[in-house]
């Protein structure tokens, strides 16, 4: 294969004609209206403006994904915005409901801690053996209740597999955002042995959580405590915990993603990510490489944010189990050899159909979770700008 042919970038593989893209966006226009409004139109003018802007933002990106065929480019804009919006809306919500972002013992006894999906791997063994959930939240009928989050996670795992990590997770956009700051990575060669680390962390936290009946990742290792809720520093132990949270956040979510251009927290540390990888086994969607078109340029493996492609997997025409279906490899392949795929169909089957059938459930979850956060944050910011207070 000549260099000229290899480097020639072909048009996006599954770009739609404008009318077709618009028609395929119509179902999402209806569904996102339901997801964002929860069936009722807000009465406050600020909320209406925020809802309208969020609606345009979400559906505009969905249309652009179809029209240009560039899934990752527009997903990434959404994902990063949603993650930063999450910090604003979650923090403001805690301040409004609880009066503080600091978690104290009274909040724990009251079950006032919002449940997040990162806890799920840690609660399974204790739930099976003791029928109790080792998390200080509330089972039902409250913001981020335990059962509500578990149902959301189960649905998304069935529909998207580890696509959760690039479409639904409200933390992933943070390291994705920082990973995109530096055009050219300072460190590009990372030993693939590091990809075993999330599995080791997973094993460690599952065992220690079962033995101590407390979610040890949340207590000791979660970098996102730095920007969400955190324990009050009342002892040397809580001081050490806070130092660990801040250090891990700066290292794994900010600095290393900037200098490597990869999602280091998601790809090399997050135990939930390792756990979620298993769901790719039974999910109907995957990413496949057409070996007849592939020229082994390795752009995909070098660009994959979560280290989900290597030379061996490319030779097999598949991604690794850790693939988050972010679509970056599909976007950057110069030969259009990589595509969204439905398991059980031929690799040469319509890439358009597979991509569209994946994008609907993926974007429904993204809009419901991330869109809700964008809306929430926008309301807070508009209130702050117009009234001087977020509440």
Partner 1 sequence: MIRLKGAFAYMVAVLMTFVALAALMGGTFLAAKLVNATGVKVSPWYTGGEVVQTIDHGSYRTLIHRPVFDTLVGQKKDGFIQIDWEPLGALPEKISEDIACFGNSNKDFHINLDTKTNVAELTSYNPEVISLAGSYKLKERMAVRVVLCRE
- Give me the residues that bind partner 1 (CB under 8 A), please: 31, 34-35, 105-106, 108-112, 125-127, 129-141, 145-148, 150-152, 154-156, 158-160, 210-211, 213-214, 284-285, 342-346, 349, 353-354, 357-358, 360-361, 364-365, 368
Return the number of the residue (199 or 360) whose C-beta is nearest partner 1: 360
CB atoms within 10 A of CB 138: 20
Helix, strand, or coil (residue 74) = helix
Q: Are strands 285-289 and 338-342 parallel, antiparallel or unpaired?
A: antiparallel
CA distance 146 to 169: 16
Return the number of the residue (132 or 298) whose C-beta is nearest partner 1: 132
Return all residues near 156 (Cβ < 8 A) that are at least 6 apart: 163, 164, 167, 168, 365
Angle at 271 between CA 72 and CA 224, to 5 degrees: 75
Task: Kindly state the smallest distance separating residue 108's Cβ from partner 1, in Å.
Answer: 6
378-to-47, 268, 363, 369 alpha-carbon distances in Å = 8, 32, 20, 14
CB 163, CB 153: distance < 8 Å: no
Task: Kindly state the smallest distance separating residue 182's Cβ from partner 1, in Å.
Answer: 34
CB 109, CB 115: distance < 8 Å: no
CA distance 53 to 59: 10
Task: Kindly state the smallest distance separating residue 391's Cβ from partner 1, in Å.
Answer: 19
Return the number of the residue (269 or 358) whose C-beta is nearest partner 1: 358
Element (DSSP H or E) covering residue 18: helix 18-37
Return the number of the residue (130 or 247) whose C-beta is nearest partner 1: 130
Task: Kindly state the smallest distance separating residue 372's Cβ from partner 1, in Å.
Answer: 10
Task: Kindly state the smallest distance separating residue 176's Cβ from partner 1, in Å.
Answer: 22
Task: Kindly state the smallest distance separating residue 231's Cβ from partner 1, in Å.
Answer: 14
Please report where in the chains the tokens 């949340």 appear, as a residue. Answer: 218
Return the number of the residue (57 or 365) whose C-beta is nearest partner 1: 365
Return the number of the residue (146 or 254) whose C-beta is nearest partner 1: 146
Helix, strand, or coil (residue 56) = helix
Return the number of the residue (68 or 214) whose C-beta is nearest partner 1: 214
Task: Kindly state the smallest distance separating residue 133's Cβ from partner 1, in Å.
Answer: 5
């Amino acid at each position: 294969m000549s260099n000229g042919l290899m480097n020639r970038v072909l048009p996006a593989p599954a770009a739609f004609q404008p009318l077709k893209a618009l028609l395929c966006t119509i179902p999402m226009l209806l569904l996102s209206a339901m997801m964002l409004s929860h069936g009722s139109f807000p009465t406050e003018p600020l909320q209406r403006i925020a809802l309208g802007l969020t609606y345009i933002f979400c559906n505009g990106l969905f249309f652009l994904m179809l029209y240009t065929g560039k899934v990752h480019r527009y997903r990434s804009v959404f994902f990063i915005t949603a993650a930063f919006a999450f910090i604003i809306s979650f923090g403001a919500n805690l301040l409004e409901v609880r009066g503080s972002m600091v978690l104290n013992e009274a909040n724990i006894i009251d079950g006032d801690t919002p449940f997040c999906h990162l806890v799920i791997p840690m609660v399974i063994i204790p739930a099976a053996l003791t029928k109790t959930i080792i998390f200080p939240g509330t089972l039902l009928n409250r913001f981020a209740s335990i059962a509500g989050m578990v149902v959301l996670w189960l649905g998304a795992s069935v529909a998207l597999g580890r696509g959760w990590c690039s479409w639904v997770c409200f933390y992933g956009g943070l390291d994705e955002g920082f990973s995109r700051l530096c055009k050219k990575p300072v460190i590009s060669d990372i030993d693939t042995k590091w990809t075993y680390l999330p599995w080791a962390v997973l094993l460690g936290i599952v065992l220690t959580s079962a033995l101590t009946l407390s979610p040890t990742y949340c207590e000791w290792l979660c970098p996102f405590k730095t920007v969400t809720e955190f324990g009050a520093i009342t002892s040397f132990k809580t001081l050490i915990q806070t130092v660990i949270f801040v250090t891990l956040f700066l290292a794994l979510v900010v600095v290393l993603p900037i200098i490597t251009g990869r999602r280091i927290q998601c790809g090399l540390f997050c135990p939930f990510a390792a756990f979620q990888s298993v769901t790719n086994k039974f999910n109907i969607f995957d990413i496949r490489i057409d070996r007849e078109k592939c020229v082994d340029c390795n752009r995909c493996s070098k660009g994959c944010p979560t280290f989900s492609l290597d030379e061996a997997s490319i030779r097999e025409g598949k991604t690794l189990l850790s693939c988050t279906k972010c679509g970056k490899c599909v976007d950057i392949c110069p030969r259009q050899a990589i595509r969204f795929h439905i398991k059980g169909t031929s690799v040469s089957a319509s890439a358009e159909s597979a991509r569209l059938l994946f994008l609907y459930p993926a974007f429904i979850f993204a809009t419901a979770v991330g869109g809700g956060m964008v809306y929430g944050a926008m309301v807070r910011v508009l209130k702050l700008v117009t009234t001087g207070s977020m509440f």
